[in-house]
Amino acid sequence: MGIYDTLNTQQKKAVLQTDGPVLILAGAGSGKTRVLTHRVAYLIDECNVNPWNIMAITFTNKAAGEMRERVDKIVGFGAESIWVSTFHSSCVRILRRYADKLGFGNNFTIYDTDDSKAVMKDICKKYQLETTQLKLKQIMGTISKCKDNLVDPNEYALATQNDFIKVKISKAYTEYQNALKKSNAMDFDDLIMKTVELFRSEPEVLTYYQERFKYIMVDEYQDTNNAQFELIRLLADRYRNLCVVGDDDQSIYRFRGANIRNILDFEKVYPDATVIKLEQNYRSTQQILDAANAVIQHNSGRKDKALWTDEKEGEKVRLKQLDTAFDEAKFIATDIGKLKRSGKLTYDETAVLYRTNAQSRLIEEQFVREGIPYDIVGGTNFYSRREIKDLLAYLKTIDNGQDDVAVKRIINVPKRGIGLTTLDYVQNYADERNISFYDALCEADQIMSVSRSAGKLKDFVSMIRAFRTKMKTYSLEELLKDVIDVVGYMDYLKTLDDEDDSGDNDRAQNVDELISKIAAYEENNEEENPTLSGFLEEVALVADIDKIGGDNEKVLLMTLHSAKGLEFEHVYLAGMEESIFPSYMTLQFEDSDPEGIEEERRLAYVGITRAKKCLTLTAAKRRMVRGETMYNALSRFVKEIPDEMLDKDKGYDGPAFLYDDDDSIDEYEGVERFYSKGKSAYSNDYRKGDYGSTSSENGGFGIKSSYINGVKKTSAGKSSVSGSGDRSGLAGTYRIKATPKPAKPVKRAQPADKPYIAGVAKTHTKGSLTGISKGMPVKMGKPDYDAGDRVSHIKYGVGTVTALEEGERDYKVTVQFDNCGQKIMYAAFAKLKKI
């Protein structure tokens, strides 16, 4: 049997279709990597294509390495000549050769997010650009979007000259690009944008690479942005042998600029394209696939397909709805522990996925209590640690003295007695002459205002020059060790307080690890003449996803976005509630931006299809968010899975809270009953079940209390009201902020210095419970603002009140916000501040 006979019919079709544009719609777990590697092998073995004429683009370095290894096993030779890399790595490789045509040195530095922020902070301070209406994050986000769409500073300036805020952003964009060029640096967005600019401005360079890459393959095409689309279009324009692989149902990076239209409209761009669907799944059981199919079919903007498998049907998807977020975390930990002890689960094949990082805290705490080893994906990146950034800044300065961010970081690390005023004088001197900060340091003798510190500045420059001289004869490992020794960095670490990481020992170990990494880089690239620029490039392009794996027997905790491309025997999807998943912000804009909900649904699909054998969905009836108790409906994505596909006997905690599909008795009507009849929405007259038991745990604090944020269960099962509240304007969610009656002491020791229980103060002002005994809510007073006033909101920023209407229990306020349009809120929850 030949190697291609092991492929299924659709996979083989995708491998053998080598000419012209090809779109492979590869469902989750359908063996797309296998298809890509066999396709490359087929081009080399059967079509006699030179390996160096093949380009394969992946989204992670790990995927690129795996593809090269697999091809090498199949063809036995030539794999090292195939251009297999990420978008950014490919662009760096091209720019290292031709950056001079764009006015950059070929040894340019790649700025990470922290470096870019440092540059932008200086610009905002210098030109007074940051205000209450315009924050650094907004400026940088806008600039990133411009680059994703190949809009340069001049084009943006022309398009926004009549908008006051955007004019400021335009100034920031222009100065930011000038600063990068002066520092001979590019940020991540520049790597793509500048390569496109190079191809457009230098036809002979484009022609060279078009002739080089006669066959192009792009993985994860649904995640490409507009700049990446244009880059590939230009490269493939001559021979048109372009094969893109992706799944529109897994397009989850819109917030990073990904444009799902790239894959949905592929056939419009290439009308002669061949479309091949890979729907047979080799990862999950049919039960899991049926759940995934049921959810994603609710999206309208997608290409029709349905996953199936020849494997066993498997277990049903488990659904477990707990009382609180604390209970949810406790269930996940105890369930994993129980399955581990029974031999049904291994830690390294188990993952807990959630919508936001904030959800991990309670889960971590319970894992510690249960003794479950775990790792968090997306924690502090190794290369983002203080001591590592310091030493990398030394290496960057040695490699590229024009990098102002690196030079400024280390000029006083360790302390050299150079004051901030002196550095400001040096920066002014550099600005006046349009030279780099380092070049200004070299001319310290000519800066009259720094005469007292000139000697210290010259010593710093002499040290850097000495390192550059040593670099000619030292290995990279020897150079790094010399830097550490000469500057006395290890002694400096001992003087640091434990203010950012976890102590001197950890920092010292991290330094040792960096030495090991640079030694490994030299060893792995021995035949290609390893360089300092090359090492710094590799460090800049590393991603968290590339480091996942290994032999560690640990459960992985990560966001759903981080889980893309991974698979596990056991998966727990936590926080399956409205306002958590889908997120609160997505629901806020559901009417104006329906695509937001579709992307959230795709994210749910990604989460479900990470599971190979067992999938457990968990939710909490209430959880603490930003100090408020939220009562959330079960996520619509759970409701979209038919009941017959769910195992509620083993994993379902009684009748669902806010799970009733009867529109006549939804959660809002329950709140209306609370107000109109003086009854609690949780009374047995309204919801049957065990919700609100006398002693329950509060998800936000984990403290026993017989109160549910002001609603106390009585022995008869009725609820006595002890607080006031109101609905939010969000379907499926409501919050009650309450001042509870003093509770009887709980039989549990409470610290004397903890005045708050369950987020509500124990002490009350006299008369604060007036009217409550009758079961009626306290009416909110009129806010201190009125129509026409300017107000600020913690999320939406600054806006103008356009209407203020008195309601039965609260005032409804309408605000036209400067940056996100009109919002209608209740005053009690809006927490608007008059300005």
Parallel, antiparallel or unpaired: strands 317-324 and 274-278: unpaired
The count of other CB atoms within 10 Å of the CB of residue 655 is 14
- Give residues with Cβ within 8 angstroms of 722, minimum separation 6: 707, 710, 711, 712, 738, 739, 740, 741, 769, 772
- What does the CA dihedral 244, 246, 247, 248 come to, rounded to 10 degrees? -60
Any catalytic annotation for residue 137?
A: no
d(CA 665, CA 120): 52
The helix or strand, by DSSP H or E, that contains position 343, with its residue range, turns out to be none
Supply 411's token pair.
């000029």
Pick the catalytic residue: 142, 222, 250, 733?
250
Please report where in the chains the tokens 């009585």 appear, as a residue.
714
Asked whether the CA dihedral 59, 63, 67, 68 is positive or negative, the reply is: positive
Vertex 399: Cα angle to 393 and 403 (nearest 5): 55
Closest residue by Cα to residue 684 from 710, 662, 646, 717:
717
Pick the catalytic residue: 190, 220, 249, 323?
220
Q: Which residues are registered as beta bridge partners of 823?
A: 815
Any catalytic annotation for residue 250?
A: yes
Supply 569's token pair.
């025997």
d(CA 759, CA 699): 10
Any catalytic annotation for residue 421?
A: no
For every residue of 755-817, DSSP letters joined together read -EETTEES---TTTTTTGGGT-PPPPPPPS--TT-EEEETTTEEEEEEEEEE-SSSEEEEEEE
Pick the catalytic residue: 33, 286, 297, 427?
33
Closest residue by Cα to residue 511 from 393, 398, 379, 382:
382
Pick the catalytic residue: 610, 622, 713, 735?
610
Residue 349 CB-density burial (10 A; 0-12 exposed, 13-18 middle, 19+ buried): middle
- Give residues with Cβ within 8 angstroms of 111, minimum separation 6: 119, 180, 185, 186, 187, 188, 405
Any catalytic annotation for residue 219?
A: yes
Distances (CA, A) of 406 to 125, 400, 421, 556: 19, 9, 19, 34
Pick the catalytic residue: 11, 32, 366, 578?
32
Pick the catalytic residue: 219, 290, 578, 697?
219
- What does the CA dihedral 782, 786, 790, 796 come to, rounded to 10 degrees? 50
The C-alpha R_g of the chain, in whole angstroms, comes to 30
For every residue of 25-78, DSSP letters joined together read EE-TTS-HHHHHHHHHHHHHHTS---GGGEEEEESSHHHHHHHHHHHHHHHSS-
* Helical ranges in 472-583 per DSSP H: 476-486, 489-495, 504-524, 532-541
Supply 610's token pair.
């990470």
E-strand ranges in 281-388 read 317-324, 350-354, 374-376
Supply 34's token pair.
């296998």
Any catalytic annotation for residue 33?
A: yes
Any catalytic annotation for residue 32?
A: yes
- Give residues with Cβ within 8 angstroms of 720, minimum separation 6: 680, 711, 712, 714, 741, 775
Parallel, antiparallel or unpaired: strands 711-713 and 756-757: unpaired
d(CA 534, CA 399): 10
Distances (CA, A) of 665 to 393, 510, 683, 741: 62, 58, 14, 29
Residue 62 Cα to chain centre, angstroms: 18
Cβ–Cβ under 8 Å, residues 287 and 645: yes
Positions annotated as catalytic residues are: 32-33, 219-220, 250, 610
